[in-house]
Amino acid sequence: MFGMKSAAVDWLIVGLGNPGQKYANTRHNMGFLTVDLLAEQAGVKLNKVKFKSAYNILSFAGCKCLVMKPQTYMNLSGEAVRDAASFYKIPPEHVIVLSDDVSLDVGTLRVRAKGSAGGQNGLKNIIYHLNSEDFPRVKIGVGKKPRPDYDLAAWVLGKFPAEDQKAIDKACEDAVNAAACIIAEDCAAAAQKFNGKRI
């Protein structure tokens, strides 16, 4: 999965979340958790700062990828993605976004080649700033809120219970592999392999 190739950046891999210790390991930070795992597997840290992001450039799935965690807070994630995509002239089709999804069961993945934000504010802002819905995304299920009147913000900003940790760890691993599959093959192949997959 990891190997060297010299060229300009081929892909952006964007993990969505909120910066700061207060938000660490919350449902809304699934994207951050996933790109942290990707970087760890590559033996690098996302410790460079540019494009309103913590990022690094690494070789992944045979391509040169800029892996980033926008530091803008979730609702303004598109500003960071736009800045990096514009700088490296990367088309939306080569921007992979990893995010949480409250409509999916904990640990379940859904790969899509394009589409609406589905109520996810980070995706909504990226669509706005890229002026396109045509970017691949890997959505990671964090579970539905326990009852209809439960505050959605409180749910997504809550931490996972201990019993979900195994499923979340596996989902992060699967999401990294799904991103690699999107790059090496395409979204359809990644969707076939990973959609609905869980422990």
- Residues serving a catalytic function are 28
Distance CA 6, CA 185 (A): 20
Distance CA 31, CA 138 (A): 9
In a 13 Å sphere around the CA of 60, the CA atoms on its Cβ side amount to 29
- Residue pair 106/161 in contact by the 8 Å Cβ criterion: no
Q: What contacts 185, CB < 8 A, 6 or more positions away?
A: none
Q: Helices marked H in 6-108 — which ranges?
A: 30-42, 77-88
What is the sign of the dihedral through the CA atoms of 104, 138, 153 and 166? positive
**Listed residue (131, 103, 127, 98) closest to 115, CA to CA:** 127
For 166, the enclosing helix (H) or strand (E) is helix 165-184
In a 13 Å sphere around the CA of 66, the CA atoms on its Cβ side amount to 28
